[in-house]
Amino acid sequence: MDQGWFSKPVAVSVGITGTIRHISNAQQAVELLTGQWRDAGSLQHGAALRACRRAMNGDVSTEIARDAFVGAAREAHVLVE
User: Do 68 and 10 meet the contact criterion of CB atoms below 8 Å apart?
Assistant: no
Residues 6+ apart with CB under 8 A from 59: none
C-alpha closest to that of 8 among 73, 77, 62: 62
Q: What is the pTM of this model?
A: 0.94
- What phi and psi values does residue 56 have, to the nearest 5 degrees? -65, -30
Phi-psi category of residue 80: left, alpha or beta, with phi > 0 → left and psi -120 to 50 → alpha: beta
Residue ranges covered by each domain of the chain: 5-76
Q: What is the pLDDT along the chain (81 residues), one digit of tens a residue?
A: 689 999 999 999 998 889 999 999 999 999 999 998 987 899 999 999 999 999 999 999 999 999 999 999 999 999 998
